[in-house]
Amino acid sequence: MEKVALNYGQAAYRGRQIYSWLYNYKNRFKSIDEINGLPLNFRNQLIKGGFIFGELMLKEKYLANDGTLKLLLNTRDNESVECVGIPTEKRLTACLSSQVGCPMDCKFCATGKEGLKRSLKVSEILDQILFIENEMNQKVTNIVFMGMGEPLLNIDALLLSIRSINEDFDISQRKITVSTVAIPKMISKLSELSFQVLGKCQFTLAISLHASNQKIRETIIPSAKNYHINNIIDDCREFVLKTGRRVSFEYLMLNGVNDKLEHADELSNLIKGFQCHVNLIQYNQIKEVEFKQTPSQYSQLFQNRLSKNGINVSFRKSRGLDKNAACGQLRQNAIIK
Ligand code: SF4
């Protein structure tokens, strides 16, 4: 931004002014006209020069009873992506999309039903944070890449986004989670590239495991047949050794599919002995899919069994349950309308 200012014959600090204005969540309407601190002629020059703020446009928003805000945003080529702001007492977590649609076709997911349209640009990923901050009038404190898309299939944009989240949004890598269904060779590539591009690898890697053995995993995640569950665990062990960061395993509780006590024991044997954490997730039923939610008493038994087996485990209830809250649902509904 300093270079832009200098190119227009302005002092470098004018560039810094634009920069701080852009990343200040209190500035709701991101337009060059609104930067009152800049001389009018400079603002006009920027507009004439084709500069614009923002990549996305708000299409729909939905505020759930628990304060979770879900946004449907349009891209310039008229695609749409979802992002979610999840407030708790001390945090505002932004759940970001990395692609329009997704090629992975996980059987429990609304986004996977439509396949991949395209990967998002860095600016489209970052703009989701600005929208959440503006709409919720609050600074985002934590980031999870758990929205639409498989982040490791858009790894360059992912890493550049993480750099900007760290440097421009002032959110440390430790408060960022990258969630993946796991793509062969990409777990080691993620840590290697992260060290190369960012100089460190301190974000949390979350693996959407959702099964305690290869057979069940293949029935709910078709791409699992290309990457054996034992190899995923081996690659995760290596990730922990290289980065010193524990890995989180996401486990969606699907009634009658993966939620029996024998599955808890099998999962414990699979992942025991290394730095990891299991996040059990309450399934958010969607009408496009036949899976059912595990009753809470069974989830509790499952969680107790993992704990008893020495596994770090927590249970995550779905937020914003009352309407359109499942992954990809808001977008699907908008397409159907
Ligand atoms: S769960 Fe994630 S990886 Fe699987 S289809 Fe949905 S968006 Fe893609």
Both 123 and 36 in a single domain?
A: no
Examine the residue annotation and report whether 95 is marked as an active-site residue of this protein: no
Nearest CA to ligand 1 atom 4: 106
Both 114 and 196 in a single domain?
A: yes
- pLDDT, tens only, 177-198: 999 999 999 999 999 999 999 9
Range of the domain at 257: 57-336
Examine the residue annotation and report whether 327 is marked as an active-site residue of this protein: yes
E-strand ranges in the chain read: 57-63, 69-74, 80-87, 92-95, 99-101, 116-119, 142-145, 176-180, 204-208, 247-253, 276-282, 313-316
Exposure string over 39-49, b if 16+ CB within 10 A, otherwise e:
eeebbebbeee
Whole-number Å distance between alpha carbons of 19 and 47:
16
Of 55, 82, 124, 133, the active-site residue reads: 82
Higher pLDDT: 35 or 319? It is 35
Q: What is the CATH number of the domain that holds 69?
A: 3.20.20.70
Pocket mutation for ligand 1, best pick of 99, 106, 207 (most atoms within 8 Å of C-beta): 106
Both 153 and 205 in a single domain?
A: yes
Q: In the numeric block, which tokens belong to residue 49?
A: 């020069």
User: What lines the ligand 1 site, CB under 6 Å?
Assistant: 102, 104-106, 109, 111-112, 148-150, 181, 327
Question: Which DSSP category does 148 fall into?
Answer: S
Q: What is the CATH number of the domain that holds 10?
A: 1.10.150
3-state secondary structure of 285: coil
Q: What is the pLDDT of residue 319?
A: 66
- pLDDT, tens only, 221-232: 999 999 999 999
Q: 327 phi and psi, to 5 degrees?
A: -50, 125
How far apart are the CA of 222 and the centre of ligand 1, in A? 11
3-state secondary structure of 187: helix
Both 100 and 189 in a single domain?
A: yes
